[in-house]
Amino acid sequence: MKFSAKLLPALAGLALIGSVGLRPAQAVPVTYSTSGTFTAGPGAVVSGPTGNVVTFMTPAGQTLTLTYNAAPTTTVNAPPPTIGNLGFFVLNMTGPSSPNLFTVPTGTTFALTVNQTQPSVASSAFMSSLRGTVGLGATGPSGQLELVISNPNMTLPGGPSSANLPVVYRLANLSEPPITAQPNTRVLGFGGTLGTSVEAQINVIPEPSSIVMAGAGLAGLVGLGLRRRRRAA
């Protein structure tokens, strides 16, 4: 096989194109639903059909309740990256008013599980810990809770319709400093029945290892051509 010097820039270009061109030929339907489960820490009581409600009793005799409402079965098309709903939280506090604030004891965690059914059947969870300080005065509740996310990005396997490329879920509406002192945090306020939503950017993309292998393979052709051209000279 002979390589012309004129072909080498073209081969280099193919290496670059190949490294970024690993994607489905068209948008792929991604179907999923969600569920959520609290794990009780000190002073917490977990209830609800899936453990999706956590309750704290304050020293002032108030009841603090956080409820997660799961997302129903949803289908989005990706690529391009698409925002998908992952459910919402409702924070409520009832009881006598008090000037004293209540700080949630550390140790309560929450798992938001994505149950994917298309392009493959798979599931995994975003893990988080609960913290925050709230109060209930004469004018109503105040303060906020925070979910500190330990893994804001999650990858689930693809299937034939996605050319076996994985589906990436990246939490999209997190709060960052200075709104909160902790990065990758979802702030939960007293927003009534509308609550606080959780969203993710969903996309079907190649894994980094696939990009490297494709780029390296095509770049290797360029190197082979250079070596043979030097020998011929």
Of residues 188 and 233, more confidence is placed in 188
> Vertex 144, ends 46 and 64: CA angle to 5°?
35
Structure tokens at 140: 């109503």
187-215 pLDDT per residue, tens: 999 977 678 999 999 999 874 544 344 44
Mean per-residue pLDDT of the chain: 84
Output the pLDDT for position 233. 58
23-51 pLDDT per residue, tens: 555 899 999 999 999 999 999 999 999 99
Of residues 228 and 10, more confidence is placed in 228
Q: Quick one: which of 60, 62, 186, 193 has its CA closest to 128? A: 186
Q: Number of folded domains in the chain?
A: 1
Distance CA 1, CA 38 (A): 63
Output the pLDDT for position 171. 97
Asked if the model's pLDDT at residue 10 lies above 50, the reply is: no
Look at residue 111 and tell me if it is in a domain: yes
Look at residue 4 and tell me if it is in a domain: no
Side by side, the strands of the sheet bearing 44-47 are: 44-47, 53-57, 63-69, 82-94, 196-204, 167-171, 153-156
DSSP letter for each residue of 82-151 = EEEEEEEEEEEEES---S--EEPPTT-EEEEEEEEEESS-EEEEEEEEEEEEEEEETTEEEEEEEEEES-
Look at residue 231 and tell me if it is in a domain: no
Distance CA 161, CA 182 (A): 38
Look at residue 224 and tell me if it is in a domain: no
Look at residue 183 and tell me if it is in a domain: yes
Look at residue 77 and tell me if it is in a domain: yes
> Average of pLDDT values for 9-18?
44
Output the pLDDT for position 184. 93
113-160 pLDDT per residue, tens: 999 999 999 999 999 999 999 999 999 999 999 999 999 999 999 999
Contacts of 208 (CB under 8 A, 6+ apart): none
Distance CA 230, CA 155 (A): 44
Look at residue 13 and tell me if it is in a domain: no
> How far separated are the first and last CA of the chain, in Å rounded?
15
Look at residue 44 and tell me if it is in a domain: yes
Domain range for 63 is: 22-211
Asked if the model's pLDDT at residue 102 lies above 90, the reply is: yes
